[in-house]
Amino acid sequence: MKYIFWDIDGTLLKTGLAGVDALRNAIKCRFGIENFQFSHPLAGMTDSFIFKQTIKDIKGSCNAADAAGLLIHYHQLLEKYLPSHHGSLMPNVKETLQYFSKQQTNYKTCLLTGNTRAGAFAKLRHYGIAQYFDSRYSACGELSEDRCELAKTAYQRLYLLEPDLTPDNVIIVGDTPNDILCAQAIKARSLIILAGSTYNTEELKSYNPWQIIPELPDDPRDFAALLDKN
């Protein structure tokens, strides 16, 4: 069995900034700050890091109660905001996931995302693709602030189920340098899809990904053929 670990935002879908707006409004409700400006990048980061750093920027420190309160409020608003924002799946995502859901492809689709599990599946359900991912094989952003640690956790879980697993059987698909770095942390391959990325090709190439493609191919068999290359 081979495993494809998918990032969500910018790779599988775009929410039309529903997540950012939900977080900004959660900050407004919790801390009274209108239109909060983040001091750190959001793309490719884990929710654990984003929430902790945001609270540190506001209060100077972050405790568990502050983080939990903000996270709960964010999840509530995210469910509300997803329908009102004009997001969409990235090109050919649903067709690709449908193809890899067939047993004969010998691939399992998993998540490796900075989103919390609740946030991740809220987005996937809204865009109609949650059924293609098994949460048992996924690593989400509440596990660590460090995306590389998420990759290591995901690999360790797979290894317990499949002791013959090697990094060659794992491919991480994303749109940011952090997706490349977390693949390198477990010696797996990284495939970057440019269609939803905020980075250009040269920036991404400097991190030495395995492959960069403009978008998922129209025919999922072409994508499968690419993944089968060494």
Q: Following CA atoms 179, 182, 184, 188 in sequence, which dihedral angle do they give, to the nearest 10 degrees?
A: -80
Task: Tell me the two tokens of residue 69.
Answer: 């309160």
Local structure of 230: helix, strand or coil: coil
Other Cβ atoms within 10 Å of 90 Cβ, number: 20
Percent of the chain whose pLDDT exceeds 90: 69
Give the H or E element holding residue 196: none
- CATH code of the domain made up of 2-15+88-227: 3.40.50.1000
Give the mean pLDDT of 180-208. 96
> CB within 8 A of 201, min separation 6: which ones?
194, 212
> CB within 8 A of 120, min separation 6: which ones?
8, 111, 113, 138, 140, 141
Domain ranges of the chain: 2-15+88-227, 18-84
Q: What are phi and psi of 190, to 5 degrees?
A: -120, 135
pLDDT band at 161 (very low <50, low <70, confident <90, very high): confident
pLDDT in tens, 28-68: 998 999 888 888 778 878 888 889 889 999 999 988 888 88
- Quote the CA–CA distance of 16 and 195 in Å, as a whole number: 15
pLDDT of residue 103: 66
With a cut of 80, say whether residue 185 has pLDDT above it: yes
- Supply the Cα-derived Rg of the chain in whole angstroms: 17
pLDDT of residue 227: 92
Sign of the torsion formed by the C-alpha atoms of 91, 120, 45 and 179: negative
- Quote the CA–CA distance of 187 and 86 in Å, as a whole number: 37
pLDDT in tens, 93-108: 999 999 998 866 789 9
Arithmetic mean of pLDDT over the chain: 92
Nearest C-alpha neighbor of 210 from the set 182, 186, 180, 185 = 180
Task: Tell me the two tokens of residue 229.
Answer: 């290359």
Q: Is 194 exposed, middle or buried (0-12, 13-18, 19+ CB in 10 A)?
A: middle
Local structure of 107: helix, strand or coil: strand
Task: Please measure the distance between the N-terminal and C-terminal CA atoms of the chain and give it in whole angstroms.
Answer: 15
